[in-house]
């Protein structure tokens, strides 16, 4: 932690200056009494205060709380380190008293949403053993997570101990400190110790609680280890990357720096703007940035569609720094990846939401703040639901195999100006259309699992296993990420919240977990050629900055090896036998795989497949179909299967008649293109209107304060 930032953490509380790293160094306390269980004289009341950010925030990081969390939320603190005076049942035991822990829908199982004391009196406590002498600086409290009850703690005391036998109350001057807790079950509330105290054990001791509820809480403790090993060798991460949380301006600056460091292989571009006008920046990495090369597959990572799930954003920023440096160093694996792949990295799909979470900081953002866009839209439900359109059509058809299984057009309602489609979603749909992406991952947080399509379920059932016809390959893709991720693959790890994904090797069909109608994964697979999975990167949606080097190590290999999977299966170019020109929109059909893909503008195509022997048929409007047997090996190197198609006599005649006029495409393609044009037209109209409103506001503001510069 940088000392300069600590200045921000100095908070004046009721006349007490809360000290930070720079000023305290008391190694231990002399305990003189049993601790403050007796009746109290008028208590010294400590009010919580939300730390405000400074006006000029250009170079100021998120809210700093002095010391990092011990890790009740991140699970760094083990279950055995948490004890309690009593608990109602195992599912509400002390190990559940962790900030932001989530419970299942039903109460009463092993995984309820808080620690709940068995008695309602003032002698209840939750105890945390920090294992080392620790300078405790603050407590963060939250109520119980359940939709059926209302439980939270309104005021509490804090006790400290070196041996867990004799306890001393946290004092506010000469009086026992009383901390203000929660007013609702969800919002985390910070209680700063009037003076930091060095000890090994800490207790939270509720004094009053919501009158209709029980004594239930979730907590985090902030503290700095006193005997922290300061040898730089032990703590310095292997890759010296910019490990911190980057707000919008800092993100832009970092991307610019990377681009300046590696001008030959990078290009920054934008795909649109958020509702509040923040640009959606993409970093392109390729040996020929700015253009599609014939036969070279395109890959993308999308992070931050839920603005408060921030780890993906930082990992993607780390990844661009890492690739740039390793490429320059001549790391053969990275050089090969960059030379043979066109990589696109979108670190923040929902920058408006991110800024909301960032302002609260890693411990106080809670579970939901910043998830949605400024308009309140959940972007992962905002793509058109093409699943049910296809499933309904299959049900009604005499021969379901004749129903189109790919390139499903956007429905008409979705293209309207008043459709509830976020500008962020519109931007990403256009982007997906412009670039012939082959493979992608959508980075989220709050769990440790990789999910693969479909996310949608038939008739929007809450849960249903809905595998695609490419299920085996999607499971391979998910396994590649999950089995190389050090956090997921750790057999010792405990479950994040209430679901045990280790039982499924940390991968699961999206619909089998919970339905997500209108997800980006499903849209990508059904509307374009691109295969996409969702990676839930960590139990904690907003890890503390000090966790970022570890999280990079956890994900580094996974992020790289996943990109390399874009080189699996078969690829090639579909050409006109006579003219040798590439044929766009040719259909590539693999026998026994009920999901076709199409060739890109130059006739090149990529078909992701597991190792095996395949019968591949290619056809295009006006051509005779062509068939080939293609072999896919074990190594990640696509087998080249080119096709030359012969025009049908009817087509020749047509072309002669049209004398170079437009060749009519099949109906579905025309409809797909038409709908996309309509969506883009409505996006333009919305942008024009919003720009007008913005300018009006701007003029109004200027008119009101004419003297201001």
Give me the active site residues, please: 536
Q: Which is nearer to Zn ion, 149 or 444 (CB)?
A: 444
d(CA 649, CA 651): 5
Residue 672's contacts (CB-CB under 8 Å, 6 or more residues apart) are 407, 408, 409, 410, 527
Q: Which is nearer to Zn ion, 444 or 544 (CB)?
A: 444
Rounded least distance, CB 309 to Zn ion, Å: 5
Cβ density class 466-485: b for 16+ within 10 Å, e for less: bebebeebbbbbbebbbbbb
Chain center to CA of 108: 30
Q: Which is nearer to Zn ion, 444 or 589 (CB)?
A: 444
Q: Which is nearer to Zn ion, 73 or 564 (CB)?
A: 73
Tokens matching residue 288: 């020929």
Judged on CB neighbours under 10 Å (0-12, 13-18, 19+), 291 is exposed
Q: Which is nearer to Zn ion, 444 or 497 (CB)?
A: 444
Q: Which is nearer to Zn ion, 71 or 445 (CB)?
A: 445
End-to-end CA separation in angstroms for the chain: 36
Q: Which is nearer to Zn ion, 239 or 378 (CB)?
A: 378
- Of the ranges 438-446, 512-520, 549-557, 667-675, which one interacts with Zn ion (CB under 5 A)? 438-446
Rounded least distance, CB 419 to Zn ion, Å: 23
- Of the ranges 197-205, 276-284, 302-310, 576-584, which one interacts with Zn ion (CB under 5 A)? 302-310
Indicate the residue whose CB is closest to Zn ion. Answer: 444
d(CA 550, CA 289): 31
CA triple 106-107-113, angle to 5 deg = 110
Rounded least distance, CB 23 to Zn ion, Å: 40
d(CA 577, CA 584): 14
- Of the ranges 37-45, 76-84, 303-311, 693-701, which one interacts with Zn ion (CB under 5 A)? 303-311
| Residue selected from 200, 426, 444, 497 as contacting Zn ion according to rule CB under 5 A | 444
| Residue selected from 122, 149, 306, 426 as contacting Zn ion according to rule CB under 5 A | 306
d(CA 316, CA 334): 15
What are 442's strand-pairing partners? 302, 534
Binding mask 521-560 for Zn ion (x = CB under 5 A): ----------------------------------------
Please count the residues of this chain forming the interface with Zn ion, following the rule CB under 5 A: 3
- Of the ranges 381-389, 442-450, 498-506, 663-671, which one interacts with Zn ion (CB under 5 A)? 442-450
Cβ density class 659-670: b for 16+ within 10 Å, e for less: eeeeeebeeebe
Q: Which is nearer to Zn ion, 200 or 306 (CB)?
A: 306
Task: Give the torsion sign (CA, 640, 434, 314, 332).
Answer: positive
DSSP 211: T
Residue 543's contacts (CB-CB under 8 Å, 6 or more residues apart) are 74, 310, 311, 362, 551
- Of the ranges 287-295, 306-314, 335-343, 669-677, which one interacts with Zn ion (CB under 5 A)? 306-314
Residue 584's contacts (CB-CB under 8 Å, 6 or more residues apart) are 599, 600, 601, 602, 603
Angle (deg, nearest 10), helices 471-484 and 548-564? 150
Rounded least distance, CB 555 to Zn ion, Å: 16
Rounded least distance, CB 307 to Zn ion, Å: 10
Rounded least distance, CB 379 to Zn ion, Å: 9
- Of the ranges 287-295, 301-309, 344-352, 417-425, which one interacts with Zn ion (CB under 5 A)? 301-309
- Of the ranges 146-154, 269-277, 441-449, 491-499, which one interacts with Zn ion (CB under 5 A)? 441-449
The phi and psi torsions of 456 (rounded to 5 degrees) equal: -80, 155
Q: Which is nearer to Zn ion, 309 or 385 (CB)?
A: 309
Residue recorded with tokens 């209840």: 124
Interface of this chain with Zn ion, residues 308 to 347, rule: CB under 5 A: 309
Rounded least distance, CB 469 to Zn ion, Å: 26
Tokens matching residue 386: 């093409």
d(CA 520, CA 68): 34
Rounded least distance, CB 697 to Zn ion, Å: 32
Binding mask 49-78 for Zn ion (x = CB under 5 A): ------------------------------
Peptide bond into 454 cis (omega under 30): yes
Based on its alpha-carbon atoms, the radius of gyration of the chain, rounded to whole angstroms, reads 29
Rounded least distance, CB 315 to Zn ion, Å: 14
Residue 106's contacts (CB-CB under 8 Å, 6 or more residues apart) are none
Q: Which residues bind Zn ion (CB under 5 A)?
A: 306, 309, 444
């Amino acid at each position: 932690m940088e000392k300069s930032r600590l200045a921000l953490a100095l908070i004046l509380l009721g006349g007490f200056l809360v000290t930070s790293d720079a000023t305290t160094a008391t190694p231990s306390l002399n305990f003189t009494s049993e601790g403050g269980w007796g009746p109290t004289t008028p208590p010294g009341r400590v009010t919580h205060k939300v730390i405000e950010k400074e006006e000029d925030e250009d170079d100021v990081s998120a809210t700093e709380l002095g010391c990092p969390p011990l890790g009740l939320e991140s699970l760094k603190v083990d279950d055995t380190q948490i004890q309690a005076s009593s608990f109602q049942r195992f599912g509400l035991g002390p190990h559940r008293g962790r900030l932001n822990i989530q419970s299942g829908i039903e109460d009463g199982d092993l995984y309820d949403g808080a620690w709940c004391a068995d008695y309602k009196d003032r002698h209840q406590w939750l105890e945390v053993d920090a294992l080392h002498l620790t300078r405790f600086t603050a407590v963060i409290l939250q109520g119980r997570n359940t939709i059926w009850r209302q439980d939270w703690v309104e005021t509490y005391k804090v006790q400290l101990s070196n041996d867990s036998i004799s306890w001393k109350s946290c004092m506010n001057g000469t009086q026992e400190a009383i901390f203000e807790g929660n007013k609702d079950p969800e919002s985390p509330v910070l209680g700063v110790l009037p003076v930091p105290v060095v000890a090994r054990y800490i207790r939270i001791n509720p004094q009053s609680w919501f009158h209709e509820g029980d004594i239930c809480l979730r907590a985090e403790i902030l503290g700095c280890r006193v005997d922290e090993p300061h040898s730089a060798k032990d703590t310095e991460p292997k890759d010296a990357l910019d490990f911190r949380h980057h707000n919008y301006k800092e993100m832009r600056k970092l991307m610019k720096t990377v681009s300046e460091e590696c001008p030959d292989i990078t290009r920054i571009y934008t795909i649109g703007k958020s509702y509040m006008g923040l640009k959606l920046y993409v970093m392109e990495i390729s040996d020929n940035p700015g253009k599609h090369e014939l036969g070279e597959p395109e890959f993308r990572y999308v992070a931050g569609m839920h603005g408060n799930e921030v780890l993906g954003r930082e990992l993607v920023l780390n990844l661009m720094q890492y690739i740039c440096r390793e490429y320059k160093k001549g790391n053969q694996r990275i050089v090969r990846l960059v030379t043979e792949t066109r990589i696109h990295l979108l670190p923040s799909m929902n920058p408006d939401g991110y800024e909301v979470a960032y302002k609260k900081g890693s411990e106080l953002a809670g579970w939901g703040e910043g998830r949605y866009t400024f308009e309140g839209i959940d972007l992962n439900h905002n793509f058109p639901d093409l699943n049910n359109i296809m499933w309904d059509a299959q049900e009604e058809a005499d021969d379901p195999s004749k129903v189109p299984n790919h390139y499903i057009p956007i429905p008409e309602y979705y293209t309207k100006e008043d459709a509830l489609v976020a500008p962020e979603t519109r931007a990403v749909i256009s982007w997906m259309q412009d670039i012939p992406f082959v493979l992608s991952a959508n980075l989220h947080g709050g769990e440790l699992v990789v999910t693969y399509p479909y996310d949608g379920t038939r008739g929007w059932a809450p849960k249903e296993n809905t595998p695609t016809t490419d299920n085996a390959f999607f499971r391979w893709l998910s396994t590649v990420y999950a089995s190389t991720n050090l956090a997921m693959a750790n057999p010792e790890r405990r479950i994040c919240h209430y679901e045990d994904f280790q039982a499924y090797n940390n991968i699961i069909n999206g619909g089998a977990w919970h339905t997500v109608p209108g997800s980006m994964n499903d849209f990508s697979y059904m509307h374009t050629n691109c295969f996409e999975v969702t990676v839930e990167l960590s139990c904690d949606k907003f890890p503390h900055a000090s966790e970022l080097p570890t999280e990079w190590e956890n994900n580094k290999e996974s992020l790289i090896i996943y990109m390399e999977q874009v080189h699996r299966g078969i690829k090639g170019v579909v050409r006109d036998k006579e003219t040798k020109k590439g044929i766009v929109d040719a259909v590539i059909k693999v026998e026994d795989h009920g999901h076709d893909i199409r060739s890109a503008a130059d006739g090149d195509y990529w078909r992701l497949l597991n190792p095996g022997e395949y019968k591949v048929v290619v056809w295009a409007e006006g051509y005779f179909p062509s068939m080939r047997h293609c072999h896919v090996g074990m190594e990640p190197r696509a087998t080249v299967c080119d096709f030359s198609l012969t025009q049908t006599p009817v087509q020749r005649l047509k072309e002669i008649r049209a004398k170079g006029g437009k060749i009519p495409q099949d109906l579905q393609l025309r409809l797909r293109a038409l709908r996309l044009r309509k969506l883009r037209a409505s996006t333009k109209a919305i942008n024009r209107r919003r720009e007008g409103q913005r300018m009006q506001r701007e003029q109004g503001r200027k008119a009101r304060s004419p003297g201001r510069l």
